[in-house]
């Protein structure tokens, strides 16, 4: 089983312009994510981007140029891995470039769960930090039971078995190919959450609790300021 880690990174971002290039301390955010990725057990780590600016931050072997027309990060990931001659049982992780503090052990745990039978897709969760998280649409929530994702929300009144979803997806390559072939489901379009495309086509998503000490997906200027504070406080 080959273990492939792809970090999709597009230059356009409505809430945080040129997000991958924004600095945390003195290093672009996308470099933080990449540096965490190469500390994992992945056999190959690549940044998949449509931006020459982003590509110039990396050695040529570590970056693959992709179309600017993709609707999702997973589409961009697939374009990148389609060039790698993978087998159906190889595992591909889609690690969003705005996860600068991801723990490499989280990535290793995602790879390792595929040694179990009947695992097709997996992701991560962490505990809710405050009640305000529940109604914050920028924080995606997941309902977990017995290690399986039952539902995802942006806003909800539910609290039992509710956790923060971490924006990392692992696929068997066969399921990734299927995912790309399926049309976006109504739930995906309504909630703007692409994991519904898998669930609505009968794919069970395994969920692992994150071991990361810091959980922060950077989507806004406020998030970026917080990331800089975290990096400074923890001497990263």
Convert the pLDDT of each residue in 111-165 to its tens digit: 999 999 899 999 999 987 677 788 888 889 999 999 999 999 998 877 788 999 9
Tell me whether strands 121-126 and 205-209 are parallel, antiparallel or unpaired: parallel
Mean pLDDT of 166-181: 95
* Residue bearing tokens 């990331």: 227
Structural domain boundaries enclosing 76: 3-233
pTM > 0.75: yes or no: yes
The CATH number of the domain holding residue 159 is 3.90.550.10
The tally of domains found in the chain comes to 1
Rg, Å, the chain Cα set: 17
Angstrom distances, CA of residue 46 to CA of 78, 139, 154, 229:
12, 26, 29, 28
Distances (CA, A) of 212 to 59, 95, 135, 169: 27, 14, 23, 16
Q: Cβ contacts of residue 230 below 8 Å, gap of 6+?
A: 101, 214, 216, 236
Q: For residue range 83-98, what is the model confidence (pLDDT) as tens digits?
A: 899 999 999 999 999 9
Comparing C-alpha atoms, which of 169, 195, 170 is closest to residue 184? 195
> Six-digit token pair at 153?
């929300």
Q: Which position has the token pair 């929530």?
A: 141
Band of pLDDT at residue 218, cut at 50, 70 and 90: confident
């Amino acid at each position: 089983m080959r273990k492939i880690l792809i970090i999709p990174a597009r230059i356009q971002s409505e809430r945080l312009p040129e997000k991958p290039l924004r600095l945390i301390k003195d290093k672009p955010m996308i470099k933080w994510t990449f540096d965490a990725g190469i500390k994992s057990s992945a056999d190959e780590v690549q940044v998949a981007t449509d931006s020459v600016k982003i590509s110039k931050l990396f050695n040529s072997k570590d970056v693959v140029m992709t179309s600017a027309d993709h609707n999702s990060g997973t589409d961009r990931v697939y374009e990148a891995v389609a060039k790698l001659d993978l087998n159906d049982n190889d595992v591909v992780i889609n690690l969003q470039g705005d996860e600068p503090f991801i723990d490499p052990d989280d990535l290793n745990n995602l790879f390792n769960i595929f040694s179990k039978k009947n695992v097709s897709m997996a992701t991560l969760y962490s505990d809710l930090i405050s009640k305000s998280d529940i109604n914050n649409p920028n924080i995606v929530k997941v309902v977990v039971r017995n290690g399986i994702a039952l539902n995802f929300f942006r806003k909800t009144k539910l609290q039992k078995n509710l956790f923060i979803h971490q924006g990392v997806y692992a696929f068997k390559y066969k399921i990734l190919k299927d995912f790309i072939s399926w049309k976006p489901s109504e739930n995906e379009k309504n909630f703007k959450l692409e994991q519904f495309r898998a669930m609505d086509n009968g794919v069970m998503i395994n969920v692992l609790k994150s071991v990361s000490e810091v959980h922060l997906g950077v989507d806004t200027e406020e998030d970026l300021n917080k990331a800089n504070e975290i990096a400074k406080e923890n001497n990263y």
